Amino acid sequence: MGIVHVPVMREEVLENLALKESGIYVDATLGPGGHAEGILQNAGKCVLIGIDRDDEALTLAGERLKKYDNIHLIRDSFSNIKSVVSGLGYSEVDGILLDLGFSTLQMKSDNRGFSFLKDEPLDMRMDRRQELTAETIVNTYHWQKLADIIWKYGEERKSRRIARAIIYAREKKKIHSCRELALIIEKSIGRKQRIHPATRTFQALRIEVNRELEQVDTVINEGADILRKKGRICILAYHSLEDRIVKNAYKKLAQQGLFNIITKKPLIPRREEQRANPSSRSAKLRVAEKI
Ligand SMILES: C[S@@+](CC[C@H](N)C(=O)[O-])C[C@H]1O[C@@H](n2cnc3c(N)ncnc32)[C@H](O)[C@@H]1O
């Protein structure tokens, strides 16, 4: 496919997982397998459990990691981490990694509907077995609900104006493609900002389609149950909503005496990485250790 996804904060992640040669590690957002490959290269005898709900990501990761035989690649949601791990016959693991959000692969590959630059159906499903798509949301949600989603998940100040423009447009003709929607947004709020005017609305729709935020708290709590003593959880978040959930979940588990928070402040990518890979700029890495 020729699309390269560069693993974000690769060195910081590998160091903070405190890898043990024969540990059991879960990469719960496998994607094209960049971080997973790093884990396997640095802990040669480890077992790697890779989870992703995207079939395309699993195929690519499978190809990339085919020379390793101590791996299990599972199509599931990370909110089922506990049952995935126990289903494979393990009761505890030494480390868990989550690199939240979506990958360059999903953004750039054709007919996934994540990019406002493409003239393709508004899809945005990570798991293509599910029914809800961005097209359904855009064409059927009540305007108030649309405005709320764009405001809450996109942190878009002009959410009401955008929602009204969507309703107005869809009354005339069903909205099918990413580019059509991007143009409706651009017409309604102009192009004055540094980022493309559709950026925040597309983020909001992606989060709603994939129920992204609801699952983060679950995976941290289930993860805490299956981490071995001194096992680490590393989470990379890319926007403040996700990062806040991670921060609060760690804090709660620390108050219960289950977690020691390793990163009092989140780690961020070094300047060279931010320059080389601009999509790493918003990354925040938070690490905790099971007590
Ligand atoms: C940023 S990418 C991971 C990239 C990977 N760390 C690498 O270096 O190649 C995030 C991946 O997480 C997956 N994902 C997001 N939410 C998920 C969920 N709830 N359950 C399972 N996978 C999920 C996406 O499909 C995507 O492939």
Q: What's the longest Cα–Cα distance across the chain?
A: 61
Selecting from 3.40.50.150, 3.40.440.10, 3.40.50.1970, 3.30.70.240, what CATH number does the domain 10-105+212-290 have?
3.40.50.150
What are the residue ranges spanned by the domains of the chain? Answer: 10-105+212-290, 110-210
Test site for ligand 1: of 53, 58, 77, most ligand atoms within 8 A of the Cβ: 53
Mean of per-residue pLDDT scores for the chain: 95
Nearest atom in ligand 1 to 8's CA: 8
Structure tokens at 185: 């947004």
Nearest atom in ligand 1 to 79's CA: 19
CA of 141 to the centre of ligand 1 (A): 27
Please report the pLDDT score of residue 237 as a whole number.
97
Test site for ligand 1: of 6, 14, 71, 103, most ligand atoms within 8 A of the Cβ: 103
Structure tokens at 21: 């040669």
Nearest atom in ligand 1 to 97's CA: 6
CA distance 236 to 282: 10
User: Residue 260: helix, strand or coil by DSSP?
Assistant: strand
246-271 pLDDT, tens digit each: 999 999 999 999 999 999 999 999 99
Judge residue 41's burial from the number of C-beta atoms within 10 Å of its C-beta, 0-12 exposed, 13-18 middle, 19 or more buried: exposed
Binding pocket residue ranges, ligand 1, CB within 6 Å = 5, 7, 29, 31-35, 51-54, 57, 77-79, 99, 101-103, 126, 215
Average pLDDT over residues 58-82: 96
Tell me whether strands 284-290 and 93-99 are parallel, antiparallel or unpaired: unpaired
185-219 pLDDT, tens digit each: 999 999 877 889 999 999 999 999 999 999 999 99
Average pLDDT over residues 103-117: 90
CA of 60 to the centre of ligand 1 (A): 12
Judged against a pLDDT cut of 50, whether residue 1 lies above it is answered with no
Domain 110-210 coded CATH 3.40.50.150: no
Judged against a pLDDT cut of 60, whether residue 3 lies above it is answered with no
- The residue whose CA is least distant from atom 22 of ligand 1 is 52
CA distance 52 to 58: 7
CA of 102 to the centre of ligand 1 (A): 6
122-142 pLDDT, tens digit each: 999 999 999 999 999 999 999
Residues found in the chain: 291
Please report the pLDDT score of residue 109 as a whole number.
85
213-245 pLDDT, tens digit each: 999 999 999 999 999 999 999 999 999 999 999
Nearest atom in ligand 1 to 32's CA: 9
Closest CA to 147 of 190, 115, 177, 188: 188
16-50 pLDDT, tens digit each: 999 999 999 999 999 999 999 999 999 989 999 99
pTM above 0.75, yes or no: yes
